[in-house]
Structure 1
Amino acid sequence: MNINDYFSVWNLIRTSGFLGFYFMTLSLSLGLFSSLSVLKKKKAFFVSLHQTSGWFGLLTIIFHIVLIWQDQYVPYSLGELFIPFYAENEPVYSALGTLSFYLFFMVISSSDFFIKKLGLKIWKKIHLAVIPAWVFMMIHGLAIGTDSTEPWSLFLYASGSSLIIVLGFIKYLESGMVRQSPDRQKPSK
């Protein structure tokens, strides 16, 4: 394989798909991690990493979309890329990728540009859209990705999923303990 093969549109599509998954998994993990009470003193550091990895992920996904649009082997029109279920190639799984992009875009733009206008309560509800976005992205990659059956690829998806599940479970347990703590209960009259 010569050097040009490594930088072919096909290889860049595959690489950008995995990088998008990596950055969004990292961002989601850091977001969950930074919300844990044991890390109060380091919260700003982890939130900064969370936001940066989210932007890297979104930009990588945009690069992925542009490359798919330029691909000659399985061509996609702009409509197929941006209108869910419109693609001829794997319409459901292509739609999950499109919907994932829209949800990630909504979460990141609301976080960085509209949080003050939205208010914290609405922003938090919008921010939860990152979970279905991440799940849609993973299903999209597993179903359409040409490397999805490779052991290394399955390991990446399984380890990313395990990390998110474990951190989500820890966050769930911690939030349950906070709700039940005596400090949070209203005093009786």
Structure 2
Amino acid sequence: MTIWLLIRVTGFLAYFYFTWAVVAGLLRKSKVPQKRKNLLFHMHTNVGWCGLFTLIAHFLFVVADTYIDYSLLALLIPFTGDAMNVYLGLGIIASYLFVAVLCTSDVWLTKMNRTVWKWVHFMSLPAWLLALLHGLGIGTDTSRPLISLFYASSALLVIATLSYRMKKHATVVKVN
């Protein structure tokens, strides 16, 4: 396998895992039986970590790539260096947000209050959206029908799940 192919595969996989982590997290707080909530919790946690490890592999393959040859600084600080690509910057920001969400969920969870945890955890949705925009904008396969279908169906899945969650938590106010 070439580095270029590994960059693409790990990018798609990380996005796939993060999509399912977001969906499982949204469904877990919906009205589902407790047995399903436990399953969704484990899925949410495990695919989130799979996403992070795959994201790290994606980053390392980009660093190893000699064709594009981004500087390490350009890959760590959004919108800097010769790689002032907006979509690359969005991917970097998404990466930092996902790292923050995962670290505050498992690593530092006991060291923070619930309000802080919740606000950081809510960053998973903007992170996911930035990852989607990164893939759509910088991905060389975006114009391929199956890849377009992949991105469109994942976006619809997250939107539908978020809508379902918001509908289930909506408060009905009776007006006299």
Give the TM-score range, shorter chain.
Answer: over 0.9
Query: Are residue 33 (structure 1) and residue 32 (structure 2) matched?
Result: no
**Structure 1 residues 95-134: aligned runs within 5 Å:** 95-134=89-128
Of 147, 166, 172, the match for 2:141:
147
Aligned twin of 2:167: 173
Query: Are residue 78 (structure 1) and residue 72 (structure 2) matched?
Result: yes
Structure 1 contact 87–94 (Cα < 8 Å) conserved: no
Aligned twin of 1:94: 88
Instruction: Measure how far apart 1:91 and its partner are.
Output: 2.0
What RMSD, in angstroms, separates the aligned Cα atoms of the two structures? 1.5
Provide the rounded CA distance (Å) in 2 between the counterparts of 1:120 and 1:96.
Answer: 28
Of 21, 44, 59, the match for 2:38:
44
Deviates further, 113-122 or 164-173: 113-122
Structure showing greater relative contact order (alpha-carbon pairs closer than 8 Å, 6 or more residues apart):
2
Provide the rounded CA distance (Å) in 2 between the counterparts of 1:16 and 1:38.
Answer: 32
Provide the rounded CA distance (Å) in 1 between the counterparts of 2:97 and 2:8.
Answer: 21
Normalising by structure 2, we get a TM-score of: 0.94
Query: Are residue 14 (structure 1) and residue 1 (structure 2) matched?
Result: no
Partner SS state of residue 143, structure 2: coil
Normalising by structure 1, we get a TM-score of: 0.88
Unpaired runs of 5+ in structure 1? 1-6, 183-189
Structure 1 contact 25–134 (Cα < 8 Å) conserved: yes
Aligned twin of 1:61: 55
C-alpha distance after superposition, 1:1-57 (max 9, x if no partner) = xxxxxx110100010110011000011111111111223332121101100000000
Structure having the higher Rg: 1
Structure 1 segments of 4+ aligned residues over 4 angstroms from their partners: none
C-alpha distance after superposition, 1:134-161 (max 9, x if no partner) = 0110100100000011000000000000
Deviates further, 22-31 or 80-89: 80-89
Structure 1 contact 87–95 (Cα < 8 Å) conserved: no
Identity of aligned residues (%): 34
Q: For this pair of structures, how many residues does the alignment match?
A: 174
Of 151, 161, 165, the match for 1:157:
151
Partner SS state of residue 59, structure 1: helix
Instruction: Measure how far apart 1:121 and its partner are.
Output: 1.9
Instruction: Measure how far apart 1:90 and its partner are.
Output: 5.0
Provide the rounded CA distance (Å) in 1 between the counterparts of 2:81 and 2:169.
Answer: 41
